[in-house]
């Protein structure tokens, strides 16, 4: 199956936050009580209930005040740290390349929360599992399976968000970067083309990643998986309820399924 992606162009974004609202509506998430803390942003961060958030960055360009907008959500990494450190195999990639957390297998150990270089997954304080953007591939709420764009993309008025085949979006993003460089934005860059073996959320940046509060070189978490499995299971307090052989069996099952998919079986 052709890998998919989302392309975000902040130079077109108006920060209307339609994507935030659409995400909550589609996934039936509650609004969060917040308070004024001196910014236009609301809520202050991603959470188990807020999977997409617009950030407002106040900066200076050519001696004048400038506002930059950044979309915060799961980047759906090809090499996903969250998946590497997950002790039960609850975190996996779909055929389209999007990273999903199976709520039936998540034990709430928090390894993924600590490992993500983009600080995306958050634990639900009520049910204890980790949650994040699914790119609208949740079971029972799978827009992609129905041939629909993710809710955030569908709701974007200025077309700052585009959904499609990843290869095509990489080409489109690089063309946009070339146009920006021709306009004088010498630091323009397509973020996500190569980071962590390729992200499935790409950003057209008119400046360096750091200006948009993105890690310049996001790092993959340690592959010391065995230690993390034991730590995660102990932390969750489920050693008695979830025997280690069962966890390993689940891992082997997932690896076998992925091998069949790659082999075209």
Tell me what the mean pLDDT of segment 199-207 comes to.
97
Q: What percent of the chain has pLDDT over 90?
A: 69
Is domain 1-265 classified as CATH 3.40.50.12780? no
In 3D space, the residue among 88, 46, 115, 8 whose CA is nearest the CA of residue 253 turns out to be 88
Tell me what the mean pLDDT of segment 174-194 comes to.
97
**CB neighbour list of residue 260: distance below 8 Å, 6 or more residues apart:** none
Q: What percent of the chain has pLDDT over 70?
A: 83
Q: What is the pTM of this model?
A: 0.84
pLDDT bin (cut points 50, 70, 90) of residue 239 is very low
> pLDDT tens digit string along 20-68?
999 999 999 988 888 777 777 889 899 999 999 999 998 888 889 999 9
Res 76: pLDDT: 98
How high does pLDDT run on average in the chain? 87
Q: Is 138 left (phi over 0), alpha (psi -120 to 50) or beta?
A: beta
- Dihedral of CA atoms 220, 222, 224, 230 in degrees, nearest 10, equals -90
Res 255: pLDDT: 63
Query: What is the C-alpha to C-alpha distance for residues 107 and 44, in angstroms, rounded to an integer?
Result: 26
Query: What is the C-alpha to C-alpha distance for residues 12 and 162, in angstroms, rounded to an integer?
Result: 11
CA separation (Å) from 248 to 56, 120, 228?
Answer: 43, 26, 13
> pLDDT tens digit string along 140-156?
778 998 999 999 999 99
Q: Are the C-beta atoms of residues 101 and 91 closer than 8 Å to each other?
A: yes
Domain boundaries of the chain, sorted by first residue: 1-265
Res 240: pLDDT: 44
| pLDDT over threshold 50, residue 226 | no
């Amino acid at each position: 199956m052709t890998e998919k992606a989302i392309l975000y162009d902040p130079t077109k974004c108006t920060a209307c936050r339609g994507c935030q609202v659409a995400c909550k509506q589609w996934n039936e998430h509650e609004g969060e009580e917040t308070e004024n803390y001196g910014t236009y942003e609301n809520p202050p961060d991603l959470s188990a209930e807020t999977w997409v958030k617009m950030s407002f960055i106040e900066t200076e360009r050519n001696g004048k005040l400038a506002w930059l907008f950044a979309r915060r959500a799961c980047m759906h990494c090809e090499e996903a740290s969250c998946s590497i450190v997950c002790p039960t195999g609850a975190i996996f990639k779909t055929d389209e390349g999007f990273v999903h957390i199976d709520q039936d297998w998540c034990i709430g150990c928090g390894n993924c929360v600590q490992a993500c270089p983009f600080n995306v997954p958050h634990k639900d304080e009520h049910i204890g599992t980790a949650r994040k953007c699914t790119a609208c591939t949740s079971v029972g709420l799978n827009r992609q399976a129905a041939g629909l764009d993710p809710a955030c993309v569908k709701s974007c008025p200025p077309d700052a968000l585009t959904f499609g085949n990843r290869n095509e979006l990489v080409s489109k993003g690089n063309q946009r970067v070339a146009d920006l460089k021709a306009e004088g934005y010498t630091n323009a860059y397509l973020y996500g083309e190569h980071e962590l073996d390729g992200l499935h959320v790409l950003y057209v940046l008119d400046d360096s990643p750091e200006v948009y509060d993105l890690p310049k070189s996001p790092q993959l978490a340690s592959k010391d998986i065995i230690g993390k499995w034991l730590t995660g299971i102990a932390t969750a307090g489920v050693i008695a309820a979830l025997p280690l052989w069962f966890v390993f069996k689940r891992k082997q099952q997932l690896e076998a399924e992925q091998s069949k998919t790659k082999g075209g079986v």
